[in-house]
Amino acid sequence: MDEANYVQSIVESIVHRMRDQKVKGDVADYIPELAHINPNQFGLSICLANGCQLSFGDSDVPFSIQSISKVFTLAIALGRFGDAIWQRVGREPSSHVYNSGQELEEKNGHPPNPFVNAGAIVTTDALLVSGTPKETLAEILHFARLAVSDNEIYINSAVAKSEIATGHQNWALAHMLRAKGNLCNDCELVLGTYFHHCAIEMTCEQLALFGRCLARIDTKAIHLSETHTQNLLALMMTCGHYQGSGEFAFQVGIPAKSGVGGGILACVPGRASIAVWSPGLNQHGNSLLGTAALRELSRALNWSAFSSSRPK
Ligand code: GLN
């Protein structure tokens, strides 16, 4: 059986099992526009190194990528500023919730990593140094569209507006960063841009295509250096699931980034990229069934980064 058929048969049964699960987690209702998403949706798409793409369930339904956009902004910032970005944000996992301000207070405005909200707000601020919010958002969208070779990627402005109106914790983080001297632009400009890139909508099929660049199974669409790609994957492994990152590495063992829209982008270097979406979240804000599906898939296909044996 060739690899695509083998993967197809394994993943088909995983998706089937996931769709039958009764406990699906809770949708992110703290963002008003996401509160009424149907939790029964489930999509999964995989791109293999041989060029095949396999898609299952609701893989063609656009969803709010939320924090997965932090991978886009960090990739652009690394390309533009290189290692200078690390003067403003750390590279260590955090034991606090993703929107915590505790470490900012303790570390004098230096966020622990670029995937917690404070770190992503700083990265967004860095990108704004050379452009307006509109230009910066256009650059982020261009980056995603180029990577996917698809212009049908948009920002849901109702989602962004609902976060602008209700995301007080993020406002607190931005003001704290500004007070500590780690934000160059006004909080309104930075958070307006941040909330809008979080509100990008993509399908699992599009996200998996994007993931090919990070898994380095297709390096033509956008330029990401080998070093920066390794940097991004290391951070996805150690910080991509917030306080659930250690458990995710333990159970799944694949570098991956989650978002509170219920999506997860996982990249198996040189082998595959996987996007999964199920809107119900676990206690850390990561997709409950998305994580479960990736755990089963990683075990069945031996795709953990820590596996010493690889099936043919
Ligand atoms: N926009 C969301 C927030 O700032 C992103 C959080 C997430 O996806 N973990 O709260």
* pLDDT tens track for 244-259: 999 999 999 999 999 9
309 has pLDDT over 80? no
The verdict on the CB of residue 125 being under 6 Å from ligand 1 is: no
Q: Which CATH architecture has domain 67-200?
A: 3-Layer(aba) Sandwich (3.40)
Q: Which of 30, 31, 265 to mutate to test the pocket of ligand 1 (most atoms within 8 A of CB)?
A: 31
**Crossing angle between the packed helical segments 117-127 and 69-81, to the nearest 10 degrees:** 50
Ligand 1 mean position, distance from CA 67 (Å): 5
Q: Name the band, by pLDDT with cuts 50, 70 and 90, for residue 311.
A: low
Q: Which CATH architecture has domain 3-64+202-301?
A: 3-Layer(aba) Sandwich (3.40)
The verdict on the CB of residue 163 being under 6 Å from ligand 1 is: yes
pLDDT for position 310: 61
Q: Where are the domains of the chain?
A: 3-64+202-301, 67-200
Residue 267: closest CA among 312, 225, 207: 207
Ligand 1 mean position, distance from CA 110 (Å): 19
Give the pLDDT confidence of 16-70 residue by residue, as tens digits: 999 999 999 999 999 999 999 999 999 999 999 999 999 999 999 999 999 999 9
The verdict on the CB of residue 279 being under 6 Å from ligand 1 is: no
Q: Is the Cα torsion angle 165, 259, 73, 205 positive or negative in sign?
A: negative
The verdict on the CB of residue 66 being under 6 Å from ligand 1 is: yes
Ligand 1 mean position, distance from CA 115 (Å): 10
Q: Which two tokens stand for residue 310?
A: 């690889």
Q: How far apart are CA 248 and CA 138, in angstroms?
A: 33
pLDDT for position 93: 97
Q: Is the Cα torsion angle 216, 136, 33, 158 positive or negative in sign?
A: negative
Same fold, 3-64+202-301 and 67-200: yes
CA-closest residue to ligand 1 atom 2? 66
Contact of 113 with 92, CB cutoff 8 Å: yes
Ligand 1 mean position, distance from CA 259 (Å): 7
pLDDT for position 312: 44
The verdict on the CB of residue 63 being under 6 Å from ligand 1 is: no
The verdict on the CB of residue 243 being under 6 Å from ligand 1 is: no
Q: How far apart are CA 242 and CA 87, in angstroms?
A: 21
> In this predicted structure, which of 31-35, 150-154, 173-177, 306-310 has the lowest mean pLDDT?
306-310
**In DSSP terms, which residues pair with 65 in a beta bridge?**
none
N-term to C-term CA, the chain: 10
The verdict on the CB of residue 33 being under 6 Å from ligand 1 is: no
Q: How far apart are CA 175 and CA 235, in angstroms?
A: 25
What mean pLDDT comes out for the span 160-166? Answer: 97
83 has pLDDT over 70? yes
Instruction: Express as a percent the part of the chain with pLDDT over 70.
Output: 99
Ligand 1 mean position, distance from CA 107 (Å): 22
Ligand 1 mean position, distance from CA 99 (Å): 8
pLDDT for position 139: 97
CA-closest residue to ligand 1 atom 3? 117
Of 136 and 2, more confident:
136
Q: In residues, how long is the chain?
A: 312
* Closest atom of ligand 1 to CA, residue 195: 1
The b-or-e profile of 108-125 (16+ CB within 10 A means b, else e) is ebbbbbbbbbbbbbbbbb
